[in-house]
Amino acid sequence: MKSIASDLGVTHTSVSNAYNNPAKVSAALRERIFAHARTVDYDGPHPAARSLRTGRCGAIGVVFNDSLSYAFIDPHDIAFLRGVATVCEEAGANIVLIPLNARDAGRIDTLTALVDGYIFNAPYRSHPVIRKALARGLPTVLVDFAAPEDAPGHASVLTDDRAMMRAVVAHLLALGHVDVGIVTFPSTEGHDAILALDAEVSADNHVVYERIMGCRDGFDAAGIAQAGVLVCETTNSEAGGRAAVARLLARRPGLTALVCFSDRLARGVIAGCAARGLAVPHRMSVTGFDGIEPAGGAPGALRLTTVRQNAFDKGRSAAECLLRAGADPRAQIRIAAEFVVGETSAEAWALDGR
């Protein structure tokens, strides 16, 4: 910068402002500086040097449980990141994706990237990266995540998962279902098992914990023993849902309804039922969670009975907490959700065919 200033007969401050504070120099002077910079192959201040000078790097880190590619596959995550990106575009900020399920997580530090703050998108509380990120003391927004007791005071963006699951269970019970199974993604990282609803459940994943609590509330209100309700923990994918059908029916052949903690799991469950000749909803009712499908649904597919939450609004609200001037760094934001009755739930099928 000093040599450019000397060549043009302007101050070092003018050259610096041309790159860092363009409003402080005229358009003509900026273009003159940039034109000369191109002749000497100068592309502007190095990002690391700018960060050292300003204390900011112009990027936020989004931390999530899965692999990097998952963020571009899962419709809920895609909508969430689109909400984050919308605010980042307006603020001139970049996004750094920080997956917690990287194949080389044991060999590299996933927090090497410079960021001005973090968005935690429903990660597991016990993951060492979460502890390390919180210890840095950067502004952090928690999405569907309960901070450890020793790290309070962060902004949060939440859906009332517990209330929504109460509504799902109440709907199925009103249709006469008493033999109900639950299909969820893991309550702790990598967990894969079948257990009873009344078994101890980890709070490591806030979403799973709250939805399990909502299911318990619903069955308790109807006087149905939790010990008789099976929960299958599996990967959050269509394949996981398909596999869960076989696993649950092997233990409980008379199941008439399956409550799924995501729409992806629900679609997998429906496919698994079809493979076994179980018609949905007449032989098996299936519910989801997320509302990731378009209003008309996929061509030829039944419209899911599900909980519709706005992942885009979640992402946008989280990014606004970090980047909008005057935003409350400890805001507690509730994102509205609604229970939507589709075409995948119906009155309970009876063993005698009635």
pLDDT tens track, the chain, 354 positions: 788 878 888 888 887 788 777 788 898 988 998 888 888 877 776 554 554 455 578 899 999 988 889 999 999 999 999 999 999 999 999 999 999 886 554 444 567 788 999 999 998 988 888 888 888 888 999 999 987 776 677 899 999 999 999 999 999 999 999 999 999 999 998 899 999 999 999 999 999 999 999 999 999 999 999 999 999 999 999 999 999 999 999 999 999 999 999 999 999 999 999 999 999 999 999 999 999 876 555 656 899 999 999 999 999 999 999 998 667 878 899 999 999 999 999 999 865 444
The count of structural domains within the chain is 3
- 207, 264: one domain: yes
- 35, 84: one domain: no
- 302, 182: one domain: yes
CATH number, domain containing residue 78: 3.40.50.2300
Beta bridge partner(s), residue 193: 233
- 143, 165: one domain: no
d(CA 64, CA 100): 6
- 195, 152: one domain: no
Q: Give residue 107's pLDDT.
A: 42
Q: Give residue 50's pLDDT.
A: 52
First to last CA, the chain: 84
Which of 134, 158, 182 lies at the terminal end of a domain, its last residue?
158
- 124, 229: one domain: no
Its pTM stands at 0.82
Q: Give residue 301's pLDDT.
A: 84
Nearest to 134 by CA among 63, 185, 44, 215: 63
- 224, 241: one domain: yes
Contact predicate 294/342, CB 8 Å: no
Q: Give residue 134's pLDDT.
A: 86
Tell me if 353 is assigned to some domain. no
Residue 113 corresponds to which amino acid? A
Nearest to 119 by CA among 152, 78, 154, 162: 154
Q: Can you tell me which residue has the tokens 């009103």? A: 174
- 262, 228: one domain: yes
- 172, 230: one domain: yes
At 155, give phi and psi (nearest 5°): -65, 150
d(CA 287, CA 211): 13
Nearest to 182 by CA among 259, 101, 239, 118: 259
- 229, 247: one domain: yes
CA distances from residue 326 to 43, 87, 306 in whole angstroms, order as listed = 33, 15, 36
CATH number, domain containing residue 7: 1.10.260.40
Angle at 293 between CA 291 and CA 296, to 5 degrees: 115
Q: Give residue 150's pLDDT.
A: 63
Tell me if 9 is assigned to some domain. yes
Beta bridge partner(s), residue 333: 157
Tell me if 211 is assigned to some domain. yes
- 165, 304: one domain: yes
Which of 308, 325, 343 lies at the terminal end of a domain, its last residue?
308
Q: Which domain holds residue 41?
A: 2-45
Residue 347 corresponds to which amino acid? E
Contact predicate 169/161, CB 8 Å: no
Tell me if 209 is assigned to some domain. yes
Q: Give residue 324's pLDDT.
A: 83
- 239, 284: one domain: yes
